[in-house]
Structure 1
Amino acid sequence: MFMNLLRENKIVAGILTILRLYLGYAWFTAGLGKIQSGAFNASGFLGNAVANPVKGPDGSVVYAWYVKFLESFAIPNVDIFNFIVPWGETLVGLGLMLGCLTTAAAFFGLVMNFSFFLAGTVSHIPTDLFLGFIILAAGYNAGRIGLDRWVVPFIRKTVLKGKEPAKQHA
Protein backbone atom coordinates (compact mmCIF):
# COMPACT_ATOMS: atom_id res chain seq x y z
CA MET A 1 0.00 0.00 0.00
CA PHE A 2 2.75 2.45 0.96
CA MET A 3 4.77 1.52 -2.12
CA ASN A 4 1.74 2.16 -4.36
CA LEU A 5 1.32 5.59 -2.77
CA LEU A 6 5.03 6.33 -3.16
CA ARG A 7 5.13 5.13 -6.78
CA GLU A 8 1.81 6.41 -8.16
CA ASN A 9 0.39 9.35 -6.21
CA LYS A 10 0.70 12.74 -7.92
CA ILE A 11 0.78 14.66 -4.62
CA VAL A 12 3.64 12.45 -3.47
CA ALA A 13 5.34 13.26 -6.80
CA GLY A 14 5.36 16.91 -5.73
CA ILE A 15 6.87 16.05 -2.35
CA LEU A 16 9.46 13.84 -4.06
CA THR A 17 10.36 16.74 -6.33
CA ILE A 18 11.22 18.87 -3.30
CA LEU A 19 13.34 16.06 -1.82
CA ARG A 20 15.00 15.52 -5.20
CA LEU A 21 15.84 19.20 -5.59
CA TYR A 22 17.29 19.40 -2.08
CA LEU A 23 19.45 16.31 -2.47
CA GLY A 24 20.38 17.15 -6.06
CA TYR A 25 21.55 20.64 -5.13
CA ALA A 26 23.77 19.19 -2.39
CA TRP A 27 25.35 16.70 -4.81
CA PHE A 28 25.70 19.25 -7.61
CA THR A 29 27.37 21.94 -5.53
CA ALA A 30 29.75 19.42 -3.91
CA GLY A 31 30.85 18.11 -7.31
CA LEU A 32 30.98 21.44 -9.09
CA GLY A 33 33.12 22.94 -6.34
CA LYS A 34 35.64 20.13 -6.79
CA ILE A 35 35.66 20.54 -10.58
CA GLN A 36 36.02 24.33 -10.46
CA SER A 37 38.85 24.24 -7.93
CA GLY A 38 40.77 21.83 -10.15
CA ALA A 39 42.64 20.73 -7.06
CA PHE A 40 40.57 17.72 -5.96
CA ASN A 41 42.75 14.84 -4.88
CA ALA A 42 41.22 11.76 -3.24
CA SER A 43 44.56 10.31 -2.11
CA GLY A 44 44.44 12.02 1.31
CA PHE A 45 40.89 10.80 1.98
CA LEU A 46 41.69 7.28 0.80
CA GLY A 47 44.93 7.13 2.77
CA ASN A 48 43.15 8.31 5.91
CA ALA A 49 40.39 5.73 5.41
CA VAL A 50 43.04 2.98 5.27
CA ALA A 51 45.08 4.38 8.19
CA ASN A 52 41.98 4.91 10.38
CA PRO A 53 39.44 2.26 9.39
CA VAL A 54 36.05 1.92 11.06
CA LYS A 55 36.49 -0.18 14.18
CA GLY A 56 34.00 -2.05 16.31
CA PRO A 57 33.70 -1.87 20.12
CA ASP A 58 36.32 -4.61 20.45
CA GLY A 59 38.81 -2.64 18.33
CA SER A 60 38.62 -4.91 15.29
CA VAL A 61 38.27 -3.48 11.78
CA VAL A 62 34.61 -3.68 10.77
CA TYR A 63 34.95 -3.35 6.99
CA ALA A 64 38.26 -5.10 6.38
CA TRP A 65 37.17 -6.05 2.85
CA TYR A 66 36.61 -2.35 2.03
CA VAL A 67 40.02 -1.38 3.42
CA LYS A 68 41.55 -4.10 1.19
CA PHE A 69 39.67 -2.65 -1.80
CA LEU A 70 41.01 0.82 -1.03
CA GLU A 71 44.58 -0.47 -0.59
CA SER A 72 44.66 -2.74 -3.61
CA PHE A 73 42.52 -0.84 -6.13
CA ALA A 74 41.49 2.68 -5.15
CA ILE A 75 44.84 4.06 -3.98
CA PRO A 76 46.86 2.63 -6.91
CA ASN A 77 44.23 4.06 -9.28
CA VAL A 78 43.63 7.34 -7.49
CA ASP A 79 43.62 9.26 -10.79
CA ILE A 80 40.43 7.44 -11.79
CA PHE A 81 38.81 8.42 -8.50
CA ASN A 82 40.04 12.01 -8.86
CA PHE A 83 37.97 12.11 -12.05
CA ILE A 84 34.88 10.06 -11.20
CA VAL A 85 34.17 11.54 -7.74
CA PRO A 86 33.69 15.20 -8.77
CA TRP A 87 32.02 14.35 -12.09
CA GLY A 88 29.89 11.66 -10.47
CA GLU A 89 28.70 14.05 -7.77
CA THR A 90 27.94 16.73 -10.37
CA LEU A 91 26.05 14.36 -12.69
CA VAL A 92 24.07 12.78 -9.84
CA GLY A 93 23.12 16.30 -8.74
CA LEU A 94 22.07 17.31 -12.26
CA GLY A 95 20.04 14.14 -12.72
CA LEU A 96 18.20 14.68 -9.46
CA MET A 97 17.61 18.42 -9.95
CA LEU A 98 16.38 18.00 -13.53
CA GLY A 99 14.47 14.81 -12.78
CA CYS A 100 16.29 13.11 -15.65
CA LEU A 101 17.14 9.42 -15.24
CA THR A 102 16.19 10.00 -11.62
CA THR A 103 16.37 6.42 -10.41
CA ALA A 104 19.82 5.96 -11.98
CA ALA A 105 21.02 9.19 -10.38
CA ALA A 106 19.63 8.11 -7.00
CA PHE A 107 21.28 4.69 -7.34
CA PHE A 108 24.72 6.12 -8.13
CA GLY A 109 24.32 8.69 -5.36
CA LEU A 110 23.65 5.84 -2.95
CA VAL A 111 26.73 3.96 -4.21
CA MET A 112 28.89 7.02 -3.54
CA ASN A 113 27.29 7.62 -0.13
CA PHE A 114 27.90 4.02 0.92
CA SER A 115 31.51 4.32 -0.26
CA PHE A 116 32.04 7.40 1.90
CA PHE A 117 30.19 5.75 4.80
CA LEU A 118 32.30 2.56 4.64
CA ALA A 119 35.40 4.75 4.73
CA GLY A 120 34.26 6.15 8.08
CA THR A 121 32.67 9.45 7.10
CA VAL A 122 29.32 10.11 8.74
CA SER A 123 28.40 13.83 8.46
CA HIS A 124 25.08 14.20 6.58
CA ILE A 125 25.37 10.78 4.92
CA PRO A 126 22.61 9.02 6.92
CA THR A 127 20.13 11.70 5.83
CA ASP A 128 21.32 11.46 2.22
CA LEU A 129 20.98 7.67 2.32
CA PHE A 130 17.44 7.91 3.70
CA LEU A 131 16.34 10.44 1.06
CA GLY A 132 18.14 8.54 -1.70
CA PHE A 133 16.35 5.30 -0.81
CA ILE A 134 12.97 7.06 -0.83
CA ILE A 135 13.70 8.52 -4.27
CA LEU A 136 14.97 5.18 -5.58
CA ALA A 137 11.95 3.28 -4.21
CA ALA A 138 9.56 5.80 -5.76
CA GLY A 139 10.90 5.01 -9.22
CA TYR A 140 9.31 6.93 -12.08
CA ASN A 141 7.10 8.96 -9.73
CA ALA A 142 10.20 10.69 -8.31
CA GLY A 143 10.95 12.15 -11.75
CA ARG A 144 7.35 12.64 -12.92
CA ILE A 145 7.70 16.40 -12.35
CA GLY A 146 10.89 16.62 -14.35
CA LEU A 147 12.48 15.46 -17.57
CA ASP A 148 11.65 11.82 -16.84
CA ARG A 149 8.09 12.64 -17.93
CA TRP A 150 9.48 12.62 -21.50
CA VAL A 151 12.76 10.73 -21.20
CA VAL A 152 11.39 7.51 -19.69
CA PRO A 153 8.63 7.02 -22.33
CA PHE A 154 11.19 7.79 -25.06
CA ILE A 155 13.56 5.14 -23.69
CA ARG A 156 10.74 2.62 -23.39
CA LYS A 157 9.64 3.30 -26.94
CA THR A 158 13.02 3.36 -28.67
CA VAL A 159 15.41 1.30 -26.56
CA LEU A 160 12.97 -1.21 -25.08
CA LYS A 161 10.80 -1.27 -28.24
CA GLY A 162 7.57 -0.45 -26.44
CA LYS A 163 7.91 -3.11 -23.74
CA GLU A 164 6.15 -2.15 -20.53
CA PRO A 165 7.92 -3.01 -17.29
CA ALA A 166 6.58 -6.13 -15.58
CA LYS A 167 4.00 -5.43 -12.89
CA GLN A 168 4.99 -6.67 -9.49
CA HIS A 169 2.33 -8.42 -7.49
CA ALA A 170 2.32 -7.97 -3.74
Structure 2
Amino acid sequence: MFNKLLRENSIVAGILTVIRIYLGWHWLTAGWGKVVNDFDATGFLANAVANPVTSGSDGEIMYPLYVKFMEAFALPNAPLINILIPWGEVLVGLGLILGCLTTYAAFFGMVMNFAFLLAGTVSSNPWDILLSIFIAAAGYNAGKFGLDRFVIPLFREELKITNTSDN
Protein backbone atom coordinates (compact mmCIF):
# COMPACT_ATOMS: atom_id res chain seq x y z
CA MET A 1 0.00 0.00 0.00
CA PHE A 2 2.77 2.47 0.92
CA ASN A 3 4.69 1.54 -2.22
CA LYS A 4 1.61 2.23 -4.37
CA LEU A 5 1.19 5.63 -2.68
CA LEU A 6 4.87 6.42 -3.18
CA ARG A 7 4.82 5.42 -6.86
CA GLU A 8 1.46 6.78 -8.02
CA ASN A 9 0.20 9.67 -5.90
CA SER A 10 0.57 13.19 -7.36
CA ILE A 11 0.74 14.84 -3.92
CA VAL A 12 3.60 12.52 -3.01
CA ALA A 13 5.23 13.42 -6.35
CA GLY A 14 5.10 17.07 -5.30
CA ILE A 15 6.63 16.30 -1.90
CA LEU A 16 9.32 14.19 -3.55
CA THR A 17 10.06 17.07 -5.91
CA VAL A 18 10.87 19.30 -2.95
CA ILE A 19 13.02 16.57 -1.37
CA ARG A 20 14.67 15.87 -4.73
CA ILE A 21 15.57 19.53 -5.27
CA TYR A 22 16.89 19.89 -1.72
CA LEU A 23 19.05 16.79 -2.07
CA GLY A 24 20.12 17.77 -5.59
CA TRP A 25 21.21 21.21 -4.40
CA HIS A 26 23.22 19.55 -1.64
CA TRP A 27 25.01 17.36 -4.22
CA LEU A 28 25.46 20.13 -6.79
CA THR A 29 27.01 22.62 -4.37
CA ALA A 30 29.32 19.98 -2.86
CA GLY A 31 30.47 18.85 -6.29
CA TRP A 32 30.81 22.32 -7.80
CA GLY A 33 32.92 23.45 -4.86
CA LYS A 34 35.27 20.56 -5.57
CA VAL A 35 35.36 21.24 -9.33
CA VAL A 36 36.33 24.91 -8.99
CA ASN A 37 38.76 24.39 -6.09
CA ASP A 38 40.99 21.69 -7.62
CA PHE A 39 39.76 18.81 -5.47
CA ASP A 40 42.38 16.27 -4.45
CA ALA A 41 41.25 13.11 -2.67
CA THR A 42 44.75 11.69 -2.21
CA GLY A 43 45.07 12.75 1.43
CA PHE A 44 41.57 11.57 2.30
CA LEU A 45 42.17 8.18 0.65
CA ALA A 46 45.55 7.74 2.32
CA ASN A 47 44.04 8.62 5.70
CA ALA A 48 41.11 6.23 5.15
CA VAL A 49 43.58 3.42 4.39
CA ALA A 50 45.88 4.30 7.31
CA ASN A 51 43.01 4.80 9.78
CA PRO A 52 40.17 2.50 8.75
CA VAL A 53 36.86 2.27 10.57
CA THR A 54 37.33 -0.09 13.52
CA SER A 55 35.05 -1.66 16.07
CA GLY A 56 35.49 0.12 19.36
CA SER A 57 37.74 -1.56 21.90
CA ASP A 58 39.13 -4.56 19.98
CA GLY A 59 40.29 -2.47 17.01
CA GLU A 60 39.03 -4.92 14.38
CA ILE A 61 38.71 -3.35 10.91
CA MET A 62 35.01 -3.15 10.08
CA TYR A 63 35.25 -3.01 6.27
CA PRO A 64 38.43 -4.84 5.27
CA LEU A 65 37.39 -5.35 1.63
CA TYR A 66 36.67 -1.66 1.21
CA VAL A 67 40.01 -0.72 2.77
CA LYS A 68 41.71 -3.14 0.36
CA PHE A 69 39.79 -1.58 -2.56
CA MET A 70 40.94 1.90 -1.55
CA GLU A 71 44.52 0.72 -1.06
CA ALA A 72 44.76 -1.32 -4.29
CA PHE A 73 42.59 0.74 -6.65
CA ALA A 74 41.41 4.14 -5.41
CA LEU A 75 44.70 5.43 -3.98
CA PRO A 76 46.85 4.42 -6.99
CA ASN A 77 44.20 5.95 -9.27
CA ALA A 78 43.69 9.13 -7.27
CA PRO A 79 43.85 11.34 -10.40
CA LEU A 80 40.84 9.45 -11.78
CA ILE A 81 39.03 9.63 -8.42
CA ASN A 82 39.74 13.39 -8.37
CA ILE A 83 37.64 13.67 -11.55
CA LEU A 84 34.94 11.10 -10.77
CA ILE A 85 33.92 12.39 -7.34
CA PRO A 86 33.39 16.09 -8.13
CA TRP A 87 31.77 15.52 -11.52
CA GLY A 88 29.74 12.61 -10.17
CA GLU A 89 28.41 14.87 -7.43
CA VAL A 90 27.59 17.61 -9.95
CA LEU A 91 25.80 15.17 -12.27
CA VAL A 92 23.83 13.57 -9.43
CA GLY A 93 22.84 17.06 -8.27
CA LEU A 94 21.73 18.13 -11.74
CA GLY A 95 19.82 14.89 -12.27
CA LEU A 96 17.93 15.35 -9.01
CA ILE A 97 17.26 19.07 -9.42
CA LEU A 98 16.07 18.72 -13.01
CA GLY A 99 14.25 15.46 -12.35
CA CYS A 100 16.13 13.81 -15.21
CA LEU A 101 16.88 10.11 -14.80
CA THR A 102 15.94 10.68 -11.19
CA THR A 103 16.07 7.07 -10.04
CA TYR A 104 19.56 6.63 -11.47
CA ALA A 105 20.75 9.90 -9.93
CA ALA A 106 19.41 8.80 -6.53
CA PHE A 107 21.07 5.38 -6.91
CA PHE A 108 24.48 6.81 -7.78
CA GLY A 109 24.13 9.35 -4.98
CA MET A 110 23.56 6.49 -2.56
CA VAL A 111 26.61 4.67 -3.94
CA MET A 112 28.76 7.73 -3.24
CA ASN A 113 27.18 8.22 0.21
CA PHE A 114 27.93 4.60 1.14
CA ALA A 115 31.48 4.94 -0.17
CA PHE A 116 32.01 7.98 2.05
CA LEU A 117 30.49 6.16 5.05
CA LEU A 118 32.65 3.08 4.51
CA ALA A 119 35.69 5.35 4.41
CA GLY A 120 34.80 6.68 7.85
CA THR A 121 33.01 9.98 7.24
CA VAL A 122 29.55 10.50 8.64
CA SER A 123 28.54 14.09 7.82
CA SER A 124 25.07 14.20 6.22
CA ASN A 125 25.51 10.84 4.47
CA PRO A 126 22.94 8.83 6.51
CA TRP A 127 20.31 11.54 6.01
CA ASP A 128 21.10 11.74 2.29
CA ILE A 129 20.78 7.96 1.97
CA LEU A 130 17.43 7.96 3.74
CA LEU A 131 16.03 10.65 1.42
CA SER A 132 17.49 8.88 -1.63
CA ILE A 133 15.78 5.63 -0.66
CA PHE A 134 12.39 7.33 -0.91
CA ILE A 135 13.30 8.90 -4.25
CA ALA A 136 14.59 5.62 -5.69
CA ALA A 137 11.63 3.63 -4.35
CA ALA A 138 9.18 6.11 -5.90
CA GLY A 139 10.73 5.52 -9.33
CA TYR A 140 9.13 7.55 -12.10
CA ASN A 141 6.85 9.39 -9.66
CA ALA A 142 9.87 11.13 -8.08
CA GLY A 143 10.69 12.75 -11.42
CA LYS A 144 7.10 13.26 -12.54
CA PHE A 145 7.41 17.03 -12.06
CA GLY A 146 10.71 17.21 -13.89
CA LEU A 147 12.37 16.14 -17.11
CA ASP A 148 11.54 12.48 -16.47
CA ARG A 149 8.03 13.31 -17.67
CA PHE A 150 9.57 13.71 -21.16
CA VAL A 151 12.71 11.57 -21.00
CA ILE A 152 11.30 8.30 -19.62
CA PRO A 153 8.57 7.95 -22.30
CA LEU A 154 11.27 8.42 -24.96
CA PHE A 155 13.30 5.60 -23.44
CA ARG A 156 10.24 3.38 -23.19
CA GLU A 157 9.39 4.07 -26.85
CA GLU A 158 12.98 3.37 -27.91
CA LEU A 159 12.97 0.08 -26.00
CA LYS A 160 9.68 -0.87 -27.63
CA ILE A 161 11.09 -0.11 -31.12
CA THR A 162 14.31 -2.00 -30.37
CA ASN A 163 12.45 -5.04 -29.02
CA THR A 164 10.11 -5.25 -32.00
CA SER A 165 12.94 -4.86 -34.53
CA ASP A 166 14.91 -7.68 -32.86
CA ASN A 167 12.18 -10.21 -33.76
The corresponding residue for 1:52 is 51
Distance 2:140 2:99 in 1: 9
Instruction: Tell me by how many angstroms 1:40 deviates.
Output: 0.5
What amino acid is aligned across from residue 44 of structure 1 in structure 2? G
The corresponding residue for 1:78 is 78
Which stretches in structure 1 are left out of the alignment for 5+ residues? 164-170
Identical-pair percentage: 61
Distance 2:42 2:111 in 1: 19
Instruction: Tell me by how many angstroms 1:30 deviates.
Output: 0.6
Distance 2:126 2:107 in 1: 15
Distance 1:84 1:159 in 2: 29
Aligned-residue CA RMSD (Å): 1.1
Instruction: Tell me by how many angstroms 1:121 deviates.
Output: 0.3
Distance 2:134 2:113 in 1: 14
The corresponding residue for 2:149 is 149
Listed as ranges, the matches of 1:100-119 within 5 Å are: 100-119=100-119
> TM-score, structure 2 length as denominator?
0.94
Q: Structure 1 residues 54, 100: CA separation in 2 closer, same or farther (over 3 Å shift)?
A: same
Deviations 1:121-144 (A, max 9, x none): 001111001001110001000000
Distance 2:86 2:127 in 1: 20
Instruction: Tell me by how many angstroms 1:162 deviates.
Output: 8.2
What amino acid is aligned across from residue 39 of structure 2 in structure 1? F
The corresponding residue for 2:10 is 10
Distance 1:103 1:162 in 2: 22
Is this contact kept in 2: 1:156–1:162, CA < 8 A?
Answer: no
The corresponding residue for 1:21 is 21
Structure 1 stretches of 4+ moved >4 Å: none
What amino acid is aligned across from residue 4 of structure 1 in structure 2? K
Which stretches in structure 2 are left out of the alignment for 5+ residues? none
Distance 1:103 1:64 in 2: 30
Instruction: Tell me by how many angstroms 1:51 deviates.
Output: 1.1
Q: Tell me the number of residue pairs that the alignment of Structure 1 and Structure 2 aligns.
A: 162
More helix by share: 2
What amino acid is aligned across from residue 14 of structure 2 in structure 1? G
What amino acid is aligned across from residue 47 of structure 2 in structure 1? N
Distance 2:160 2:21 in 1: 28
